[in-house]
Amino acid sequence: MESLVVLITYPLFPYLEQELLRRGCHLLRLYHSPQTNHLAFLRANASSIRAVVCDTHVGADAAMIEALPALEIVSTFSVGVDKVDLVKCKERGVRVTNTPDVLTDDVADLAIGLAIAVLRKLPAADRFVRSGASKKKGGYPLATKFSGKRVGILGLGRIGLAIAQRAEAFNCPVSYHSRSKKPHPNYKYYSSPLDLASNCDVLVVSCSLTDETRLIINREVIDALGPQGVLLNIGRGPHVDESELVSALVDGRLGGAGLDVFENEPDIPEELFQLDNVVMTPHVGSDTVETSMAMADLVIANLEAHAMGRPLLTPVV
């Protein structure tokens, strides 16, 4: 990888940057330029950039790929590839790799953690105690039990399956909707997101973001989930019609929500801040030290394999 010129689109996990430098890569940092200057920056370095390392904040879109004729490979520090223009990459013969599997457990852990946090009102209790209110007011409004609730999973891929396995340990009956039925007799299949939402208490979004799944959680689905239902989103913000979600929560038409992703991160609709039946985390699905290192190692291994002419470990294109 000696002297491989790599474009970094967004500040990286420090270990990843260190490892790239240690291996002799020459790093160009797109984020050191203001957004309006990005295209100029790319063009100025067009002849040397052979690799792009990107993430969920700033990906590799068509404009970027077109501006980099020497580009050979895009490695995203994520499992989701919705921020990479795969069609353009295919067209240009640019390889694409992601970081599947190493983050599956973390995202599934967070999904269950969010479910309990919402249903049992855990952050609300923590706020209540820290404010001193628990000393005076006595009991805070009741939460509701998580164990035994019907869990519906939208997208039974790696992450969805890991969530299902955990939910089973809480005696939660598991159902799902996927593009196709999976060989899991324990889990009940529904042929549409609407049917799934009508038949579960906790709906988890864990599919990839594509043109088909954009706004898959719309008003109809939210209403079907209902005033006792809880939506958990550990997928992508654009999976959900966010303004419909907010009004359903404010109106009480939806029972609660646990959200790790939002339509326009890091901006979040402020109405949500008033609600105790909502738990929000700043896109931390795979943000643990252990997993960040494993993801970094995978990015490096893919780039190294490419530089050495060996098969890529986790290619998408």
Partner 1 sequence: MEKRICDVTNKEPQDKPEVLLLQPLSIYFEPILSQKYDLLKPWESPLPLNVFLPNHAQFVQAIISSGPNCLPIENSLLHLLPNLGIITAMTVGIDHIDLEACREKGVAVTNAGSTYSPDAADFAVGLLVDVLRQISMGDRFVRKGLWPVNGDGLLGAQVSGKRVGIVGLGSIGSHVAKRLTAFGCPISYFSRAPKPNYPSYKYFPNVLDLAHESDVLILSCALTAETQNIINRDVMIALGKDGIIINVGRGALIDEPELVRCLKEGVIGGAGLDVFVNEPEVPEELTYMENVVLSDHRAVTTPESFKGVLELAIANLDAFFSGKPLLSPVSC
Q: Which residues are catalytic?
A: 236, 265, 283
**Start-to-end CA span in the chain (Å):** 21
Output the six-digit token pair for 118.
Answer: 């919402």
Q: Which is nearer to partner 1, 175 or 291 (CB)?
A: 291
**Contacting range for partner 1; rule: CB under 8 A; set: 42-50, 127-135, 210-218, 221-229:** 127-135
DSSP annotation string for 152-174: EEE--SHHHHHHHHHHHHTT--E
**Contacting range for partner 1; rule: CB under 8 A; set: 80-88, 114-122, 179-187, 231-239:** 114-122
Q: Which is nearer to partner 1, 86 or 293 (CB)?
A: 293
Q: Is 153 in the site for partner 1 (CB under 8 A)?
A: no
Q: 3-state class of 134 per DSSP? A: helix
**63-68, long-range: CB < 8 A, 24+ apart:** 63/39, 64/38, 65/89, 65/92, 65/94, 67/39, 67/42, 67/43, 68/7, 68/42
Choice from 18, 37, 165, 192 touching partner 1 (CB under 8 A): 165
Query: What is the Rg, in whole angstroms, of the alpha carbon atoms belonging to the chain?
Result: 21
- Using CA atoms, how far apart are residues 57 and 71, in angstroms rounded to an integer? 20
Site for partner 1 in 76-105 (CB under 8 A): 105
Report the half-sphere exposure of 206 (CA within 13 A, side-chain side): 32
Site for partner 1 in 289-308 (CB under 8 A): 289-292
Q: Which is nearer to partner 1, 107 or 225 (CB)?
A: 107
| Residues binding partner 1: number (CB under 8 A) | 54
State the nearest-atom distance from the C-beta of 78 to partner 1, in Å: 13
State the nearest-atom distance from the C-beta of 138 to partner 1, in Å: 8
State the nearest-atom distance from the C-beta of 31 to partner 1, in Å: 11
Choice from 43, 145, 181, 310 touching partner 1 (CB under 8 A): 145
Choice from 82, 85, 106, 242 touching partner 1 (CB under 8 A): 106
- Using CA atoms, how far apart are residues 96 and 88, in angstroms rounded to an integer? 11
Quick check: 277 and 231 in contact, CB under 8 A? no
- Using CA atoms, how far apart are residues 104 and 161, in angstroms rounded to an integer? 9
State the nearest-atom distance from the C-beta of 226 to partner 1, in Å: 17
Choice from 38, 92, 120, 253 touching partner 1 (CB under 8 A): 120
Q: Is 271 in the site for partner 1 (CB under 8 A)?
A: no
Q: Is 113 in the site for partner 1 (CB under 8 A)?
A: yes
Q: Is 168 in the site for partner 1 (CB under 8 A)?
A: yes
Quick check: 171 and 148 in contact, CB under 8 A? yes
Q: Is 125 in the site for partner 1 (CB under 8 A)?
A: yes
Q: Peptide bond before 266: cis, by omega within 30 degrees of 0?
A: yes
- Using CA atoms, how far apart are residues 11 and 219, in angstroms rounded to an integer? 36
Q: Is 169 in the site for partner 1 (CB under 8 A)?
A: yes
- Using CA atoms, how far apart are residues 156 and 184, in angstroms rounded to an integer? 10
Choice from 51, 54, 112, 225 touching partner 1 (CB under 8 A): 112
- Using CA atoms, how far apart are residues 306 and 6, in angstroms rounded to an integer? 13
Q: Is 143 in the site for partner 1 (CB under 8 A)?
A: yes
**Chain contacts with partner 1 (rule: CB under 8 A):** 105-106, 108-110, 112-114, 116-117, 120, 122-123, 125-130, 132, 134-135, 139-140, 142-148, 165-166, 168-171, 265-268, 273, 279-284, 287-292
